[in-house]
Amino acid sequence: MGASRHMSVDSRGRYTPEVAGEVLPGSEGPAGSRSHNLNSTRRASLMQEPVLVLNATYEPINVTAVRRAMVLMLKGVAQAEEMHNTEVHSAAHAHRVPSVIRLLAYRHIPQQSRALSRKNILLRDRNTCQFCVRVFPSSELTLDHVVPRSRGGRSTWENLVACCYRCNNSKGDRTPEEAGLKLARRPRPFTLHTSRQLMRLIGHRDERWRKYLFY
Ligand SMILES: [Zn+2]
């Protein structure tokens, strides 16, 4: 089975790893790992924990959530390189939670800025509303055009920011100045350098990421 159908490439041929809306199929869970009884809230937040994605060459290329990482593993697209000492339980099986996964087939990744996408903007802005500077889950954030589209504002890295619904409503069809709002920082393009910096920030609490990111 090829990995390519789990990856999307935008119109300019740029790479965006993406596995959306998939359900974990049954599989044999790894044996002998420590089991924790997780309540559903903890389980839900655990499934959103960040997982470092390495290319087949061990080059760090992306950060995804546990849920997506497990789908890639179960489909044989990736394998776990580092694991947490926790498990999640599906109906019949226990699955150890990955911390770092590696793609089994090499993916060519152009050395240029990443595709403009909602996911990458939230990642760049670290899931922080750029007006009230509070951190939200992705589902509670939208993208705001700093200069509104009605004023000729474009959909670019420099004009799109993560924004909570409340700030988005109060800003409406105005510029930040007109709405009395201030941007936490100037939105920048997402480069390979910021990408690596972000991976380090996201992974600073997980020492399993260190050897892949700090060298
Ligand atoms: Zn806000």
Q: How do residues 80-109 score in pLDDT, each as one tens digit?
A: 999 998 888 877 888 899 999 999 999 887
**Residue 146, burial from CB neighbour count under 10 angstroms (0-12, 13-18, 19+):** buried
Q: What is the dihedral of CA 164, 191, 187, 202, to 10 degrees?
A: 40
The arithmetic mean of pLDDT across residues 26-48, rounded, is 57
**Claim: this prediction has a pTM higher than 0.85:** no
Of 178 and 89, which is predicted with more confidence?
Answer: 178
pLDDT reading at 175 higher than 80: yes
Label residue 39 by pLDDT band (50, 70, 90).
low
The arithmetic mean of pLDDT across residues 36-44, rounded, is 67
Q: How far is ligand 1, taken at its centre, from the CA of residue 42, in Å?
A: 25
Q: How far is ligand 1, taken at its centre, from the CA of residue 204, in Å?
A: 25
**Which residues place a Cβ less than 5 A from the ion ligand 1?**
129, 131-132, 164, 167
Residues paired with residue 89 on neighbouring β-strands, in sequence order? 94
Q: How far is ligand 1, taken at its centre, from the CA of residue 180, in Å?
A: 13
Q: Does residue 101 sit in helix, strand or coil?
A: strand
Q: How far is ligand 1, taken at its centre, from the CA of residue 145, in Å?
A: 14
Q: What is the pLDDT of residue 37?
A: 53
Distance CA 68, CA 64 (A): 7
Q: What is the pLDDT of residue 35?
A: 44
Distance CA 47, CA 138 (A): 13
Q: What is the pLDDT of residue 22?
A: 27
Give the CA angle between residues 168, 173, 176 to the nearest 5°. 65
Stretch among 22-26, 97-101, 107-111, 151-155 having the lowest mean pLDDT = 22-26
Task: Give the ranges where the chain is alpha helix by DSSP (H).
Answer: 40-47, 66-74, 118-124, 165-171, 176-179, 192-202, 210-213
